[in-house]
Amino acid sequence: MKDGDVSDLILLPRRVVQQPTPLLNASGDCGACVLGGLTDLPLADVYAKLQRNGPRPFARSDMIDALHDGSRMGLFERCYTSSPSWTVDDWFGEWGNVGWMQSGPWHNYVRLGLEAGCYAIAEVRWAKDGPLGGHADHWVLLCGARTYWKALGEGFGDRCVGSPQILVSCSSRTTPDEEWVEPSTFLRQRGGFNVLLVRPPRYYVVSDGP
C-alpha cells in the first residue's frame, strides 16, 4: 500500500437531508434530517409519521420509537436499538470505561452493521468539544467504513500504516456534508458510542473499491 491508498471500503448510498432554512424546529431538525435521508420522506412527513410527541426535535427515546414505528410501517427492514459495551483493559483504566478506549471493538461492531446494510445513527456533540462539553445535542448518520493508509514518515522508506475510518453524514450547514473520521477521534470529540442500527428496504453495499 502507498500513502493515500484506501482498502476495505464499505459505502452505503443514503445520506442525511440538509437542515432546512428556516428551521422547522427552533432547536434544530437534525433527527428528522437523518430519518428523512433514510426514508425519502419530506421532513414535515417525518414529524407527522415518526414523532409520537408532536413536532419537536428527536430525543433519544423519540428516535428509538421512530425506528420501531418505521419498521412496523415498512419503512425499515431491521432496527437494533440497544448497544453492547466492551470492557477496557486494566492498563487503560485510568479514565474508566470510556468510549474511545473501546474504539477498536466499537468500529468492528459498526462495520459489521454496515456490511449487513445497516446505517448507524449516532447522537453526538455538535461542537466536537468532548465529554466535558455537555450532553449530546445533534444526530448524524454513519454510512461507510474504510482503511486509510498513511506513510510512516522519514526513516521508514515506503512503509505505511493503515488507519480505520468511518464516514459521517451531517445535516448541519456549517459542517462538511460528509467526512471520514478515525473512530477514536469521533468517540473522543463527539461521543456517539451507543449507535442505533437501521436497515432500509432494498439496500446496496459497495465494497472493496477505491
Query: Using an 8 Å Cβ cutoff, are 127 and 202 in contact?
Result: no
- The residue type found at 64 is I
**What share of the chain in percent tops pLDDT 90?**
73
**What share of the chain in percent tops pLDDT 70?**
95
pLDDT in tens, 129-185: 999 999 999 999 999 999 999 888 777 777 888 999 999 999 999 999 999 999 999
Question: From CA 190, how far away is CA 201, in angstroms rounded?
Answer: 29
pLDDT of residue 16: 98
User: pTM for the full model?
Assistant: 0.90
pLDDT in tens, 68-115: 999 999 999 999 999 888 877 777 778 788 889 899 999 999 999 999
Note whether residue 30 is domain-resident. yes
Average pLDDT, integer, range 30-59: 95
Read off the CATH number of the domain in which 15 is found.
3.90.70
Domain hosting 45: range is 6-203
pLDDT of residue 158: 79
Residue 24 has pLDDT above 60, yes or no: yes
Note whether residue 208 is domain-resident. no
Residue 208 has pLDDT above 60, yes or no: no
Note whether residue 82 is domain-resident. yes
pLDDT of residue 86: 82
Note whether residue 1 is domain-resident. no
pLDDT of residue 88: 76
pLDDT of residue 206: 46
DSSP assignment of 128-170 equals ---GGG-S--EEEEEEEEEEEEEE--TTSTT-EEEEEEEEEE-
Note whether residue 52 is domain-resident. yes
pLDDT of residue 209: 46
Categorize the per-residue pLDDT at 54 as very low, low, confident or very high, splitting at 50, 70 and 90. Answer: confident
Question: How many structural domains does the chain have?
Answer: 1
Residue 205 has pLDDT above 70, yes or no: no
Note whether residue 81 is domain-resident. yes
Closest to 131 (Cα-Cα) out of 192, 189, 182, 60: 189
